[in-house]
Amino acid sequence: MNPKTVPEYLHPTIQFQNVTYSINGSVHHTLVSGIDLSVDSGQTLVLLGRSGSGKTTLLKLINRLLVPTDGQVVVRDRPTIEWDPIQLRRGIGYVIQEAGLFPHFTVAQNVALVPSLENWDAARITARVNDLLTLVGLDPAQYASRRPHELSGGQRQRVGVARALAADPPILLMDEPFGALDPVTRAELQREFNALAKRLGKTIVFVTHDLREALLLASRIVLLEKGRILADATPQEFPRIDHPEVRAFTASLAPLSGVQI
Amino acid sequence: MSAWRFFLEHRAEILGATANHLTLVLIAMAFAIAIAVPLGMFIVHRPTLRNFALAMASIFQTIPSLALFGFLIPIPFIGGIGRRTAIVALVLYALLPILRNTYVGLTGIDPAVLEAAEAMGMTESQILWRVRLPLARAVILAGIRTATIITIGVATIAAAIGAGGLGTFIFRGVAMVSDAVILAGAIPAALLAIVADLLLGWVERRLRIV
């Protein structure tokens, strides 16, 4: 849990260097283009944008689920194409919408996945699973042996976060992790996650289309439109940027007119 | 002669034929499973081979069973009159349901689960063995169940090439124009199919997740 336990050689930095990604290399299906972006260690960078703006594509370029058509993505001082994808991914936590938990595994087995792939001994895995479940607010005695379908959406997402943190990766990628939750549960998880992120000191890249969420969690907001970066600002500066797309997002925060509370 | 009296008088013979029939089916199913399940796993990431394998398995299914038995007789090593030829034909028939269900089960998995598995740093073979296969097992078993029912039925025709089994009574009954003799083969075959269906259906439900 302590950031000091991260070895020096795992210095977490992500750099996009003039990155373009097109489906099958076709210029007609370019999803992101000319991306230059550097994520500093310990930062929570939020990629904000509408559906189809290229946020998820950027995320998948980091853990090499996708490979750039042009340019390169450097993770921990090495381009992703030079990394063994398995080793690269084991050092990067990944949380997605609906959690993507393994339905045939118990909660404990889900959380233990990466440690068991890394051949940790059983006692260490058990201790780690208990620590993590406690960390995400699930009592291990009550939840460790349950299956994902026996949990609520919010609980599944907590397990998803615990699973991503299991091997203590220096980098955490999150793709609208709270997007499918009801508003009350979502706000609860956002608050807890915010506190957790500050404590863990991970480098986090977080994808969302919700400006409120971005303002709450980000140390830096990058706005994407049609595969390009439109704005790059702190949460304090962001709402004051004079750009139609920024105004469109800030307008989405305005209270509904005519609704009496 | 009533069917019931024929049953009583020939019960040893009927029981023997049922055992023989069951043996044929079990041997054929063992081979079919041993071929189709690994093949299904093998073709998950090989589209060309997948199309070829599924097409071949479909072709075997379209050949009328009696014709398939006939075609196999002149083929050296696997052919001839008797049990071996019958088993080869039954295996060919059973391949498609098992192969197709194995493939569908292995590929019809929630994309979010597969994406998570890949992003966690699981290798392709770890994903296959630890994620795809356990999640596909109920669907694979459903294919085995279908194939078993088909095989129990088709195995009655194996008597035509001297493989024995319950078909012996059916062919004899047709020749004798005797319902009683036909029923002596047909009823045990139907019972076998029903029992196999219930049993495998029960196992399938046990394997299902959620």
Contact B120 A94 (CB under 8 A): yes
Chain A interface, mutation test: which of B109, B115, B118, B120, most A Cβ atoms within 10 Å? B120
> For residue range A18-38, what is the model confidence (pLDDT) as tens digits?
999 999 878 888 999 999 999
Number of domains in chain B: 1
DSSP state letter for B129? I
Q: Does residue A207 come out as left (phi exceeding 0), alpha (psi in the -120 to 50 range) or beta?
A: beta
DSSP states along A217-236:
H-SEEEEEETTEEEEEE-TT
**Residue B60 CB: number of other CB atoms within 10 A?**
15
Residue A68 parent element (H or E): none
Best A80, A98, A113 member to test B by mutation, with max B CBs in 10 Å, is A113
Q: Residue B115 and residue A87: Cβ atoms within 8 Å? A: no
Distance from CA of A139 to the nearest CA of B (A): 22
Question: Could you count the other beta carbons within 10 Å of the beta carbon of residue A154?
Answer: 18
Torsion-angle region of B54 (φ positive above 0: left; ψ -120 to 50: alpha; else: beta)? alpha
- Phi/psi for A56 (5° steps) reads -65, -35
Measure B100 CA to nearest chain A CA, in Å: 22
What separation, in Å, do the N-terminal and C-terminal C-alpha atoms of chain B show?
53
Q: Report the relative pairing of strands A70-75 and A14-22 from DSSP bridges.
A: antiparallel
User: The tokens of A169 are what?
Assistant: 């990766």
Cα–Cα nearest to A246, from A229, A227, A231: A231
Better pLDDT: A98 or B39? B39
Residues in chain B, pLDDT under 50: none
pLDDT for residue A256: 62
pLDDT value for B150: 94
ipTM over 0.90: no
pLDDT of A6 > 80? The answer is no
Residue B198's domain comprises 3-207
Chain A residues within 8 A of B134 when measuring between CB atoms: 104
Q: How many CB atoms lie within 10 A of CB A78?
A: 12
CB burial class (10 A; 0-12, 13-18, 19+) of residue B181?
buried
If one counts every other C-beta atom within 10 angstroms of the C-beta of residue A77, the result is 10
The mean per-residue pLDDT over the stretch A77-97 comes to 93
Alpha-carbon distance A246 to nearest alpha carbon in chain B (angstroms): 31
pLDDT at position A3 = 46
Measure the CA–CA gap between B130 and B126, rounded to whole angstroms. Answer: 6
Distance from CA of A88 to the nearest CA of B (A): 8
* Residue A260: predicted pLDDT: 55
Q: Look up the CATH number of the domain holding residue B150.
A: 1.10.3720.10
Q: How crowded is the C-beta side of A16, counted as CA atoms within 13 Å?
A: 27
Q: How far apart are CA A156 and CA A97, in angstroms?
A: 10
Question: If you average pLDDT over every residue of chain A, what do you get?
Answer: 89
> Does B210 sit within 8 Å of A65, measured CB to CB?
no
Q: Are A162 and A99 in contact (CB under 8 A)?
A: no
pLDDT in tens, B133-159: 999 999 999 999 999 999 999 999 988
- In chain A, what are the domain boundaries? 42-53+86-251
Tokens of B141: 């078993």
Q: Which superfamily does CATH assign the domain made up of A42-53+86-251 to?
A: P-loop containing nucleotide triphosphate hydrolases (3.40.50.300)
Nearby residues of B149 by Cβ (< 8 Å), 6 or more positions away: B193, B196, B197
What integer pLDDT is reported at residue A10 of this predicted model?
Answer: 45
Q: How far apart are CA B135 and CA A100, in angstroms?
A: 13
